[in-house]
Amino acid sequence: MTEFSKECMLEAIRFSKQNVDDGSGGPFGAVIAKDGKIISGASNKVTSTNDPTAHAEMEAIRSACKILNTFSLAGCEIYTSCEPCPMCLSAIHWARIEKIYYANTRKDAADINFDDDFIYNEVSKSVDDRVIPMVQIMNREAKKVFIDWKEKEDKIHY
């Protein structure tokens, strides 16, 4: 572990601790770094902002994208005080982050009653086997829009 990695993770843990101290969300923090510099950091803000998607990693990603003025975090690393849940892991993929450092595991999260492991299992199931019912309707109408997109010449890829 480099000194810089240690510094980044300490900052992520500091964000997680801040939430325990001031009560603004779950005990999670994350930091995005690029080229040996911290770009952004955040704590979980689910309960303080009424946003179930406001996990620390999501907030740090959104913030880094604003600061760097891009939807791609290629070349960046994320430091998170806990193994990312599948929402955050997927967001890390969409953001093209290249390396993940984590401290607590999903098992540690389960021990304090966070359901990451349950959602990992659900995401891995086939559509018909999931707890939340998934019903397909109107595929024909929706697919027309996909064809329009395919044929659109000036689209921005992401």
Q: Is 92 in the site for its own copies (CB under 8 A)?
A: yes
Site string for its own copies, 51-70 (x = CB under 8 A): xxx----x--xx--xx--xx
Q: Is 38 in the site for its own copies (CB under 8 A)?
A: no
57 is catalytic: yes
Q: Is 107 in the site for its own copies (CB under 8 A)?
A: no
Q: Which two tokens stand for residue 134?
A: 């998934």
Q: Which two tokens stand for residue 68?
A: 């760097």
Choose between 37 and 138: whose C-beta lies nearer to its own copies. 138
Minimum distance between the CB of residue 38 and its own copies, rounded to whole angstroms? 16
Coil, strand, or helix at residue 122?
helix
Minimum distance between the CB of residue 100 and its own copies, rounded to whole angstroms? 5
Minimum distance between the CB of residue 155 and its own copies, rounded to whole angstroms? 7
**CA 134 vs CA 14, 129, 138: distances in Å:** 39, 9, 13
Q: Which positions ≥6 away from 7 have C-beta within 8 Å? A: 38
Q: What is the DSSP string of 34-94?
A: ETTEEEEEEE--HHHHT-TT--HHHHHHHHHHHHHTSS--TTEEEEEEE---HHHHHHHHH
Q: Is 3 in the site for its own copies (CB under 8 A)?
A: no
Name beta bridge partners: 33. 38, 77
Choose between 38 and 122: whose C-beta lies nearer to its own copies. 122
Q: Is 110 in the site for its own copies (CB under 8 A)?
A: no
Minimum distance between the CB of residue 3 and its own copies, rounded to whole angstroms? 12
Q: Is 86 in the site for its own copies (CB under 8 A)?
A: yes
The catalytic residue positions are 57
